[in-house]
Structure formats: structure tokens, C-alpha cells
Structure 1
Amino acid sequence: MVPASIVYDSRLSTGVLADRARLTHPDLRFGVTGILRQGALVMYDRSTVSLWRQDGWAIAGPLKGTRLKRLPSERMSWHQWRERHPLTLVMRAPPPAPYPRPRVPVRLDP
């Protein structure tokens, strides 16, 4: 199994599958900054806090100039995926607790 990251920008409907195995930090975990650069998504890695473009280039931080290798990928509907990969399991967050969360009063000093 190859350590990989899937990056999808829902605003532009574009996705990239990137190989992380050949990096000096193959355990990188990515997050979204909320920043757009030239209209495209900017990510960060939680290990070095380097900034990354969706095309796989690190543009700032300790890994600046590093590039993730792109892996071949296809875009398809969920129906098409299930036909090709019937044993796929989908992970999802657990449902919310059946009881309301307690409200914590917040007091602001004048």
C-alpha cells in the first residue's frame, strides 16, 4: 500500500491523488488553510506547517520546493465506483449523542 493523499477542491471540482512515500516526511497529514492563491486551494501539512498548492508543490515553509508525485486517478460517480469495487467500505463520523450537550456559561468581565 502506498501512502497517498487525495485533495479535492469542491469550488473548482478538481482533484489530485498524490504519492507521499518518497518524501522525507512520508507521514505528512494535510489540512486546508482556507486561503486561495490564484483562485486555487492552498493546503498545509501538520508536521512542518509548509504551505502546498493543489498541484503538489510546497510554496512556503521548510519543505518549499518539494513536490508530491501525482498518481493516476479517475473521477467517477459513486455508482460507478461501487460497480468496480463492490467491497468498498465507507467511513463516516458517528452520529451525534442522543442527549444535548451541556451549555457552559461564559462570563465576560467588564
Structure 2
Amino acid sequence: MIDTVLTKPFTYLASEWPSTLPDLNALIFHNGTLSDFYNATIPNSGHSNFMDVPLMINIPVVNEAGSIKSEKAYAITTDFVVSFFDKYLLDKPVEIMDLKSEYPGLELTKEN
């Protein structure tokens, strides 16, 4: 990824990243894209908010979830991924950037 340019639609969905840690993704995607590239961060989320762990173990210090409600994190993730697949695999007229108004605080950018 470091030496390539993205040529297909791509989406990157992440949890909030502590500012004290280096943002290695900025290095990985530094060459840019020739196609649509979506970069999204779910506010107040942690790594496990993309799994079912927070629903089974509701202790954030143990499950590595953020302070976001697990159900809300799942809703954002599901809507984002389904919208991306609908648009680029099923050719549906989807406006992915509209998710920003549906989920205030969602950090979502599009390049290209």
C-alpha cells in the first residue's frame, strides 16, 4: 500500500485514534487515489466497537470499546458499509456523504 495509488473505490472506517500515537494510516495512504476514497472515524469508539465483544462484555476497560453506545456504533458501521457496497457493487444511487447529517460527529471525508 505504501508505494501504490488506489485505483478502485475504497473506504476506510476506523475507531478514534489517540493523538499521542502515530497515525500510520496517513503514511499508508499518502500516495492518494484515482477513484473515490472515503475516510471515516466513529467518534468515541474503540477497536472492539467493530465486533460483538461490547455486547457480550459490557465493561469498557476489559472490552476495549469506546464510550459510544455499542448499538450506535453498530448502526453507523452497518449504514456506512451497506451504503458503500450498494453504491459501488450494486450501482444504487447512494450519497454516502449524507451519513454525516444522519450521524452528527461522524468524521467522514471523500477524496477524488
TM class, shorter-length: under 0.3
TM-score scaled by structure 1?
A: 0.22
TM-score scaled by structure 2?
A: 0.22
Higher helix share: 2
Higher strand share: 1
Q: Which has the higher contact order (CA 8 A, sep 6+)?
A: 2
